[in-house]
A and B are shown apart, each in its own frame.
Chain A
Amino acid sequence: DTGVSQDPRHKITKRGQNVTFRCDPISEHNRLYWYRQTLGQGPEFLTYFQNEAQLEKSRLLSDRFSAERPKGSFSTLEIQRTEQGDSAMYLCASSRGQTPNYGYTFGSGTRLTVV
């Protein structure tokens, strides 16, 4: 068990470009979450998967954002036509069940800078 892995750790992109981030959850975890954290704020919920099904999307997730978890294992988060306001840390988390006893583990995040 190597924890939740996120790739890349850092991404600098020009405004208008598309970016894609990857998250590899802990292998036995069926739930996967994406959060966004801007400077000086706590993480904000973006979306949630149970296995391959995307069960909830926050209103923060505009049409330019799309997330997938095609085989119920790793997940990707794509941002199209990036804007400077998309600059943030994107955090992935996974869990096996619904209570804290099953663990809710965060990755180290992908820091996106849009210039």
Chain B
Amino acid sequence: GEDVEQSLFLSVREGDSSVINCTYTDSSSTYLYWYKQEPGAGLQLLTYIFSNMDMKQDQRLTVLLNKKDKHLSLRIADTQTGDSAIYFCAEGSGYNKLIFGAGTRLAVHP
């Protein structure tokens, strides 16, 4: 079946790097996504990676994909207080229906 798992909570100091991890089960997923959700707001697409890629970098964001282990990570460099939010990993299956993890709450402290 389809399942996406994430650790629930991460706390980092402002200026440090954050690494959020995710594992998924559906090896047929074409795309893997990272979404950000701030309180009271909808889901914002941060970045995505195609399943035949190992890495994607987009400004402060770096996505690493280990397809063999079905492991995805999101690294946020120079983490700021504005990065505090819930981060969701999702896999795209079929016609782009998304399967989400439960989300990782990132807390950034001074």
Contacts and interface: CB of A to CB of B under 8 A. Distances in A.
Interface string B32-59: 0100000001111100100000000000
A104 B96 contact: yes
Main secondary structure of the interface of B (DSSP, over half): strand
Query: What is the interface of chain A mostly: helix, strand, loop, or mixed?
Result: strand
A42 B31 contact: no
Nearest to A111: B40
B84 to A, nearest CB: 17
Nearest to A89: B42
A91 B100 contact: no
A42 B102 contact: yes
A80 to B, nearest CB: 24
B101 A42 contact: yes
Nearest to B93: A45
A53 B95 CA distance: 14
Given A42-B88, A91-B42, A100-B48, A33 B97 contact: yes
B42 A43 contact: no
Interface residues of A, number: 26
B31 A100 contact: yes
Given A100-B45, A108-B41, A109-B42, A40 B97 contact: no
A45 B94 CA distance: 12
B42 A56 contact: no
B12 interface: no
Contact of A43 (B31, B44, B94, B98): B98
Interface in A66-115: 91, 93, 95, 98-100, 104-109
